[in-house]
Amino acid sequence: MFDVGFWELSIIALVALIVIGPERLPKVARTVGHWLGRGRRFVANVKADIDQEIKAEELKEILDKQAKMANPVHEILEETKQDLNQFKQRTESQIEAARDEMDSTQAPQNKKPNQAE
């Protein structure tokens, strides 16, 4: 941000020492540090709030996209369920037909042969 080196800081400290005085300099430095800390926390909170709002907007956009896509997916699921039910019904009717056929072919074989009288 600022390109402040060692010599610039030492000149600022020397001017502050002359203007403020050696007795009040520690208290002023502490107060300045306190206010700098509060300012940094405020800036960090603002950044966090902005990031949270951006994420909320992105989430809204994603949910909107999913809501638009949900109808075709729902329709596909319904069609698949209907096809599965039709397949089930056809399979069950074929199984029943096969059982009936087996019963009709096995019936004559299960008869006992006529015994000679």
Q: pLDDT tier at 112 (50, 70, 90 boundaries)?
A: low
pTM score > 0.85 for this model? no
Taking every pair of Cα atoms in the chain, the longest distance, rounded to a whole number of angstroms, is: 143
Q: What is the pLDDT of residue 42?
A: 97
Residue 16 near residue 28 (C-beta atoms within 8 A): yes
Q: What is the pLDDT of residue 53?
A: 95
Q: Which of 29, 24, 34 shows the shortest CA–CA distance to 13?
A: 29
Residue 35 near residue 27 (C-beta atoms within 8 A): no
Has residue 18 got a pLDDT over 80? yes
For residue range 21-67, list pLDDT tens digits in order. Answer: 889 988 998 999 999 999 999 999 999 999 999 999 999 998 888 87
